[in-house]
Structure 1
Amino acid sequence: MVFRRRDRRPLLRTIADFLYPRGGWTRAFHYVKHRVRRLPDSPERIARGIWAGVFTTFTPFYSLHFLVAFLVARVMRGNILAALMATFFGNPLTYVPIGFVSLKTGHFLLGNTFQEHEARSFVGKFIDAGEDLKNNFVALFTGHEPDWRGLSVFYDQVFYPYLIGGIIPGAITATICYFLSVPLIRAYQKRRKKVIKKKFQAIRKKAEAEADLGGKAD
């Protein structure tokens, strides 16, 4: 109750903010970068968390990326919060190229041909799969004949190729982010320690000076 918004956003406003934050994606990126750098952990553990989060965005487990990133980070002994924040590498601006590359790679590895302009679109196959799940769930209580054709097409043409094809580009991209992150985080932490040390030194000098003045006054 304490953290609930006082002004509840309309559904359309919520969707619009997801697709394009009010401050823009550049501001959102810098915010996430700032939060990741300030995490109280070693650069290597934070970078392993980033690896887990970025790699997760190349998997077809939409709406479960937080859970997948958490599990991958636990296996790698990476920072969990860094992994969760790194999943923002996948966003409305990057999901299209990520999905395209993953599907292309997956169909190539499986020996299939990925048709970019098929009669039913990529998003359409997601919708068909969702409709099958909903209708077949209703069929359990109504006695209707279940129909799994949409889900079968989705699995064969989208999910499985995406799952296989996302491994290689996901691992490559995540590894690049790892090696870029370690020196940047280490340099930031060293600079931050110096700043904090100077502040403590200034506070101590001020306290000593006040103590000296107090002693002279006595």
Structure 2
Amino acid sequence: MSFRRVLGYYKSRMARLPGTPHSIAAGFAAGAAVSFTPFMGFHFLLGALVAWALRGNLIASALGTLVGNPWTFPFIWLAIYEVGAAIMLDSESRVPLDDLSLSYLWNHIGDVLVPMMLGGAILSVIVWPLFYFPLARGIERFRKMRFERRLRKRSTEVAVTGQAIGQDPA
């Protein structure tokens, strides 16, 4: 199955979730934003908490956390570290990326985690509206088109049978 087809399937599934376009978009955006934090293993919980606080859809927040996945996490972690380290402006405690190893990370967890938390908070605030606004508009459009399609189908059935659906032919 092609990537485009899979993406189209998930878009339609997202638009069919129960709730308002705001709740679905807010939930998904909360999950996506939480994916930009260094708290691996807690993204589902954090996404659900943020979605709940924003009156977002909890299922959509779980789907939103899939923005962070094994293919995107290395880029996300590098981005949140670089943003946090740049804001801290502390070049002496900056982790040398060419000498990066698991033992170095374990021994200097504070030098890595603090900039990642700061960068993650900043990028999460930026990422949330980037997902929310297009998704809310897309869901509204999808539902409007779906409603119009149902009206057209119903009017075609009335024209063919001469009666509305659910009426007794008496």
TM-score normalised to structure 2 length:
0.81
User: Is the counterpart of residue 108 in structure 1 residue 62 in structure 2?
Assistant: no
Gapped runs of 5+ residues in structure 2?
A: none
Alignment correspondent of 1:142: none
- Tell me the alpha carbon deviations over residues 138-195 of structure 1, each in whole angstroms, 9 at most, x when there is no partner: xxxxxxxxxxxx3x622x1333321111111222122111121122111111001112
Gapped runs of 5+ residues in structure 1?
A: 1-22, 130-149
- The offset of 1:119, in angstroms, is 4.3
TM-score normalised to structure 1 length:
0.65
User: Is the counterpart of residue 153 in structure 1 residue 108 in structure 2?
Assistant: yes
- The offset of 1:30, in angstroms, is 3.2
Alignment correspondent of 1:181: 135
Q: For residues 1-218 of structure 1, what are the structure 2 equivalents within 5 Å?
A: 23=1, 26-112=4-90, 113-120=94-101, 124=102, 150=106, 153-154=108-109, 156-204=110-158, 206=161, 208=163
How large is the Cα RMSD of the aligned pairs? 2.9
Asked if the contact 1:103–1:114 (Cα under 8 Å) also holds between the matched residues in 2, the reply is no
Helix, strand or coil at the partner of 1:107? helix
Aligned residue pair count:
165
- The offset of 1:56, in angstroms, is 0.8
Helix, strand or coil at the partner of 1:77? coil
How far apart, CA to CA, are the structure 1 residues paired with 2:65 and 2:41? 11
- The offset of 1:118, in angstroms, is 2.0
Change (3 A) 1:90 1:39: same
Asked if the contact 1:104–1:114 (Cα under 8 Å) also holds between the matched residues in 2, the reply is no
Asked if the contact 1:49–1:81 (Cα under 8 Å) also holds between the matched residues in 2, the reply is yes
- The offset of 1:100, in angstroms, is 0.7
Alignment correspondent of 1:133: none
Please say which structure displays the higher CA radius of gyration: 1
How far apart, CA to CA, are the structure 2 residues paired with 1:68 and 1:97? 20
> Identity of aligned pairs, percent?
29
